[in-house]
Amino acid sequence: MSAWKAKRFWTAAEALACDGGFTVLLDGRAVKTPAKAALVVPTLAMAQAIAAEWDAQTGEVRPATMPVTRAANSAIDKIIPQRDEVVEIIAAYGQSDLLCYRAIGPAALVERQAAGWDPVLHWAAEALGAQLVATAGVMHVAQPPEALARLTARVAGMTEFQLAGLHDLVAISGSLVLALAVTERRLTPEEAWALSRIDENWQIEQWGADEEAAEMEAFRHVAFNDASRFYALCG
């Protein structure tokens, strides 16, 4: 038996102010999250983006085409009830940040990593007060406690909606530093994405692209840009 799938039942979606922020109505009925909580978001721009996603649905509702709605649902249903745990999960990436683990060879790859990643680590040291240690190879290197504390404080200072966007930026890139550089507008999403894929692009240059891997890469690229957009919509 096939699973039941929601179909469009509304004529128009509308974003408007409500108690505590902004919400979306479908023909006058307030949208709820999957956990049946009120969908209340922090900015009108975010509510308008969600309304646009609902209006774009034709026939069967496809959540995969509604990234802003899904991220807002995550903020409300998952992050608000367990904020401290989410902060801890995100901040933990600083202990093994992608930018801190470098290739031991070939020389061209080592140079490419240094040229791309060193300036961002220098920015983190100066702008965030978090000077992380880079190493060659995959053996774990302990990071200075004071640097990790500053990164954790930066994450903890975000709203639950900002955390939803940041979480995906970090999880997709493997780098808390790159993600924070995007949120702080030190890097554009495209610049950060390219820096996160230095190793993968090197391998493609040497051995060629795998079709299945390329499809997954494209999916992750879109998700990374969606996360950056959602963070920006937080205001």
Domain assignment present for residue 71? The answer is no
One-letter amino acid at 223 equals A
CATH number at residue 175: 1.10.3580.10
Are 195 and 118 members of one domain? yes
**pLDDT confidence of residue 70:** 98
Does residue 74 lie within any of the structural domains?
no
Asked if 127 and 222 sit in the same domain, the reply is yes
Q: Is there a single domain that holds both residue 90 and residue 51?
A: no
Same domain, yes or no, for 122 and 192? yes
Give pLDDT, residue 225: 98
The domain of 100 spans 82-233
The confidence score (pLDDT) of residue 6 equals 80
Q: Which residues contact 5 (CB under 8 A, 6 or more apart)?
A: 60, 61
Number of structural domains the chain divides into: 2
Give me the pLDDT at residue 2, please.
Answer: 41
**Average pLDDT along the chain, 235 residues, taken 10 residues at a time:** 67 97 97 97 98 95 96 98 98 98 97 98 98 96 98 98 98 98 98 98 93 94 98 97
Cα atoms found within 13 Å of the Cα of residue 209, Cβ hemisphere only: 9
Is residue 217 one of the residues assigned to a domain? yes
Q: CA of 175: how far to CAs of 96, 99, 120, in Å?
A: 8, 7, 11
Cβ–Cβ contacts within 10 Å for residue 225, how many? 16
The angle subtended at Cα 190 by Cα 170 and Cα 73, nearest 5°, is 45
Any alpha helices (H) in the chain, and if so which ranges? 44-55, 67-74, 83-91, 107-127, 145-156, 160-173, 176-183, 189-196, 198-207, 211-233
Q: Write down the pLDDT at residue 1.
A: 36
Residue 72 lies in a domain: no
Does one domain contain both 147 and 194?
Answer: yes
pTM: 0.95
Report the pLDDT value the prediction gives residue 3, as an integer from 0 to 100: 46
